[in-house]
Amino acid sequence: MTRAEPAASIAAEATPGSDFRRRLLDAMAEAVRERSYRETTVADVVRNARTSRRTFYEHFDSKQDCFIALLAERNSETIQQIYDAVDAGAPWRTQVRQAIEAWIGASQQDPTITLAWIRDIPALGEAARQVQHDAGEAFINLIQSLTATPGFEAPGLHPLTRQMATILYGGYRELIAFTVEQGRDISEIIDVAVDTAIALVGPRYEPPR
């Protein structure tokens, strides 16, 4: 079985645009790092991008629209990094670690934005909920795809069902957020995340009769 390729984009907002669009997305990320999303204003974004309000509104309808576009892009990039990091020909336990290390590594690149994605997006209305839903679907599909290769077809292994993949996605997401909020290094959760995935996928322990 071959591994499915990731979707080209989680949402339309993640599609690369003009140089100004790129500058505005980067400026939004900078403003969120400096002030948090709630405190960020369009003026902050425009100042960081060294452009005008007119240019901002040529690319985005609102501060929220720009923020959602940034998060959609980051999630697409994270999923691609995970796919790229996993060697489908490696032993299955190695593949599990490769995937989780790539996920944590992507989260570490910009932990403030990672936390903003988890904590701020649920309160931003229908458009944000759609992006959140699409991101969840993409991560769940990713997890199932990564465990649907020949390396995971050995006797006794259990390729993840959708429900199991959903539990892993939600649990890892919350654990990452909690660790960032505590001001701790996200890499410290790698081993427990790997052990959890291996426990779900690996052979079940059956006590002797």
CA dist 164 and 27 (Å) reads 37
pLDDT at 207 (0 to 100) = 45
Summarize pLDDT for 144-189 with one digit per residue, the tens.
999 888 888 776 787 788 999 999 999 998 999 899 888 899 999 9
How much is the pTM?
0.81
Give me the number of domains the chain comprises.
Answer: 2
Q: Are residues 72 and 56 in the same domain?
A: no
Residue 19, C-beta contacts closer than 8 angstroms, at least 6 positions apart = none
Range of the domain at 52: 16-60
pLDDT at 60 (0 to 100) = 96
Per-residue pLDDT, averaged over 78-101, amounts to: 94
Q: Are residues 127 and 191 in the same domain?
A: yes
In a domain, 9, yes or no: no
Q: Is the dihedral of CA 1, 97, 162, 10 positive or negative?
A: negative
CA dist 108 and 158 (Å) reads 30
Can you give the CATH number for the domain in which 46 is found? 1.10.10
Per-residue pLDDT, averaged over 86-103, amounts to: 94
Q: Are residues 81 and 34 in the same domain?
A: no
In a domain, 79, yes or no: yes
Can you give the CATH number for the domain in which 174 is found? 1.10.357.10
Q: Is the dihedral of CA 69, 72, 76, 82 positive or negative?
A: positive
